């Protein structure tokens, strides 16, 4: 299992939202580039970054900062938040991202995912499936996407997507343990590589996930709060 540290960026700062709520923001007095370097020096091979300005407003806000992060040797970066066009995806890949994460657009305009897989290749494309009570949420988790996570997962795999990033909104930022059963179910039912996100609260949570066949695990708040330390198994 791959451990993927996470950084969420809002207005140039490292932050965490509780359950995706922009009114429940914790700001960390950390330099994003220095934190990314710290994770790499501790052994991390991947970094998950969400541009929260982009997720909310549909704009690529942190381009220069993330270009520097993507230049860190040995660190593969996946970027999400506001990627609703091939042009935005192309900008992030050109900036050095290894993988771009499509979210809202996958539910609203799935034909774009076909085009993304054709143009960039499946290894550079992931689809984020963010669920509340099993249903997909879009537009920064503020709206219902009109289908279940499993339905979206099956559709994306049929379109050539190999990597799904599953977030259980109820656990995100709460440190109460990840929705492992739901992530494993999605992986088993779709055949995709599932990256599980949300809820990790300790090294014990990470090790418990590592005992299963889940493909990868994103760890955000627990690392920033020093409740977990593992960035590589």
Average pLDDT over residues 142-168: 96
Fold for the domain defined by 2-224: TIM Barrel (3.20.20)
Max avg pLDDT among 60-64, 82-86, 208-212: 208-212
Q: What's the pTM?
A: 0.95
Task: Check whether 154 has a pLDDT greater than 80.
Answer: yes
* Spatial separation of the C-alpha atoms in residues 6 and 219, rounded to whole Å: 6
Q: What is the pLDDT of residues 82-100, one digit of tens each?
A: 899 999 999 999 999 999 9
> Residue 171: what pLDDT?
83
> Residue 68 — φ and ψ, nearest 5°?
-65, -40
Element (H or E) spanning 8, and its range?
Answer: strand 2-10
**Catalytic center residues:** 8, 130
Nearest alpha-carbon partner for 128 in 93, 91, 110, 153: 153
Average pLDDT over residues 149-173: 95
Query: What token pair was written down for 154?
Result: 């099956």
* Spatial separation of the C-alpha atoms in residues 34 and 179, rounded to whole Å: 30
* Spatial separation of the C-alpha atoms in residues 23 and 21, rounded to whole Å: 5
Burial 55-64 (b: 16+ CB within 10 A, else e): bbebebbbee
Mean pLDDT, all residues of the chain? 95
* Spatial separation of the C-alpha atoms in residues 7 and 230, rounded to whole Å: 15
Task: Check whether 109 has a pLDDT greater than 80.
Answer: yes
Cβ contacts of 85-93, under 8 Å, gap ≥ 24? 85/112, 86/112, 86/115, 86/116, 86/119, 88/54, 88/60, 89/116, 89/120, 89/125, 90/119, 90/120, 91/60, 91/63, 92/60, 92/66, 93/120, 93/124
For residue 222, the SS3 value is: helix
> Residue 172: what pLDDT?
79
Q: What is the pLDDT of residues 14-58, one digit of tens each?
A: 999 887 789 999 999 999 999 999 999 999 999 999 999 988 887
> Residue 58: what pLDDT?
76
For residue 150, the SS3 value is: helix
Domain locations in the chain as residue ranges: 2-224
């Amino acid at each position: 299992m791959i451990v993927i540290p996470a950084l969420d960026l809002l207005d140039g700062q490292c932050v965490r939202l509780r359950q995706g709520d922009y009114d429940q923001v914790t700001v960390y007095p950390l330099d994003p580039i220095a934190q990314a370097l710290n994770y790499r020096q501790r052994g991390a091979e991947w970094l998950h970054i969400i541009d929260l300005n982009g997720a909310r407003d549909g704009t690529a806000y942190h381009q220069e900062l993330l270009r520097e992060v993507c230049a860190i040797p040995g660190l593969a970066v996946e970027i999400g938040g506001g990627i609703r066009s091939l042009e935005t995806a192309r900008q992030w890949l050109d900036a050095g991202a290894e993988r771009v994460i499509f979210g809202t657009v996958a539910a609203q305009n799935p034909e774009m995912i076909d085009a993304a897989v054709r143009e960039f290749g499946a290894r550079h494309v992931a689809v984020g499936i963010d669920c509340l009570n099993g249903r997909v949420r879009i537009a920064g988790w503020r709206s219902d996407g009109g289908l279940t996570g499993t339905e979206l997962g099956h559709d994306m795999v049929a379109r050539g997507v190999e990597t799904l990033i599953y977030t259980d909104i109820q656990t995100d930022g709460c440190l109460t343990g990840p929705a492992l059963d739901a992530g494993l179910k999605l992986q088993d039912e779709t055949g995709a590589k599932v990256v599980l996100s949300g809820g990790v609260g300790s090294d014990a949570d990470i090790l418990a996930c590592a005992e299963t066949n889940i493909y990868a695990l994103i760890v955000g708040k627990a690392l920033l709060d020093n409740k977990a330390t593992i960035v590589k198994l």
